[in-house]
Structure 1
Amino acid sequence: MGEVFEGYERQYCEISASLARKCTAASALQGEKLKQKASEIKSGIDGAEGLIRNMDLEARNQQPSVRAGLLAKLREYKSDLNNLKGALKRVTTGNTQQGSREELLESGMAETLGVSADQKSRLLRTTEKQNQTTDRIRDSHRTMLETEDLGVSLLQDLHQQRQRLIHAHDTLDNVDDNIGKSRRIMGAMVRRMDRNKWIIGFIITLLVLAILVILYFKFVH
């Protein structure tokens, strides 16, 4: 149930209770005072009708699961308002004669206002139950949203971890490539060093032979 509807509902219950008390008080009035009180009650009934129209519009904008309960409550509020209108009519028409006024006060008004009070009590209990149900639905909806947010957060974390793993894999590939290049370079250097060793060894051998030849010719001849 929307908070707007609940606000209209509270206003209506307050106005309805006030109008019931005013109808009871008006049943004892006559003449100009009765007219003033009747005008005041009529104004209050008009305001109550406006609240019911607002509640009707608000209820029809709710989800189907909530709308049915609100419309059922509205039917009871409309019945309550019709009782108030009937009470006002009997007050204004019944006060033309003292006897009619007494009869209205003792029978019709007591019955009408008693029914109205019973309806208000029943409506308030129904409203309280529906509010509790609505609170549970709202809590469930909030839990669902929190679970959904948690799921989205987990998916985002998993996506970030996947991106980091992909980046790490790419980095490892680059490292492997660099290691492969380094191995090839080191292999080429080792081969070059081996070749240089053989060349140096060959040169040293030639030098040793040359020295020996020189010494031979020097001491023999």
Structure 2
Amino acid sequence: MSSDFEGYEQDFAVLTAEITSKIARVPRLPPDEKKQMVANVEKQLEEAKELLEQMDLEVREIPPQSRGMYSNRMRSYKQEMGKLETDFKRSRIAYSDEVRNELLGDDGNSSENQLIKLREERAHLLDNTERLERSSRRLEAGYQIAVETEQIGQEMLENLSHDREKIHRARERLRETDANLGKSSRILTGMLRRISWMPDTVPSY
């Protein structure tokens, strides 16, 4: 079950990385290319949502005692999805302003164009800040996964150690039993030999 979840995780990571890259490019593309890029990002966002739904279904199938780690990861991925959608909305707003600018024949020197440039710079700063925040969250999630994996490994080692001790004690008991059986066999053999050496006595009348 976890292998299916991890496969979806890898697909989600690759897809969101592509979406992030494309969102950052949207405001700087020519109008025709921007339209195509916006449509492409919308499609990939839908694919990412479908992956999240599949991951949700996988988590529900995991036993409750093992579900906590995967639930935490799902919360992180849903937060990341929300950020991507927010970034995409901001990118589309910048896109719409630029198209309107071009249709009006703005030469780039008006106050409106300067305002758009300021908006773009602010959007880029916000994007960089949010990317740093997402990277920090991923590092924290990775650290948490490493800690949980180490704990699971430690528990497995302890269980193996207990099992090894049980096997060792069982072997010792088996050796003792073999020794006792051997001793009993020797005693019985000696008794049979003594019986066979005893002369037959017939009672006289």
* Fold-level similarity (TM above 0.5): yes
Q: Please say if residues 76 and 119 of structure 1, whose CA atoms lie closer than 8 Å, have aligned partners that are also in contact.
A: no
- The answer (yes or no) to whether the contact 1:5–1:55 under 8 Å persists in 2 is yes
Within the alignment, does 1:106 sit opposite 2:118 as a pair?
A: no
Residues 66-145 of structure 1 mapped to structure 2, 5 A cutoff: 66-99=73-106, 102-107=110-115, 109-145=116-152
Alignment check: 8 A CA contact 1:15 1:48 kept: yes
**In the alignment, residue 183 of structure 2 is paired with which amino acid?**
D
Instruction: Name the residue aligned to 2:50.
Output: 57
The alpha carbon displacement at 1:180 in A equals: 2.1
Aligned-pair RMSD on alpha carbons? 3.0
**Greater Rg over alpha carbons, structure:** 1
The Cα shift of 1:41 comes to 0.5
Gaps of 5+ in 2: 1-5, 57-69, 201-205
Which position in structure 2 is the counterpart of 1:184? 191
Give secondary structure in 2 for the equivalent of 1:98: coil
Give the distance between the partners of 1:74 and 1:104, measured in 2 at CA.
Answer: 32
Aligned residues: 179
Which of residues 8, 14, 21 in structure 1 aligns to 2:21?
A: 14
Specify the code of the residue in structure 1 equivalent to 2:92: K
TM-score by length of 1: 0.66
**Selected match of 1:48 from 34, 41, 60:** 41
CA distance in 2, matches of 1:14, 1:174: 76
Q: Does 1:172 align with 2:165?
A: no
Ranges of 4+ aligned residues in structure 1 off by more than 4 Å: 99-104
Instruction: Output the TM-score relative to the length of structure 2.
Output: 0.71
Match of 1:202 in 2: none
Task: Summarize deviations over 1:153-196 as a string: whole Å, max 9, x none.
Answer: 32442343244234213312311321321342354467x38x9x
> Which whole-Å deviations, capped at 9, do the CAs of 1:105-141 have from their partners, x for residues lacking one?
311x224322321221122111221121122122113
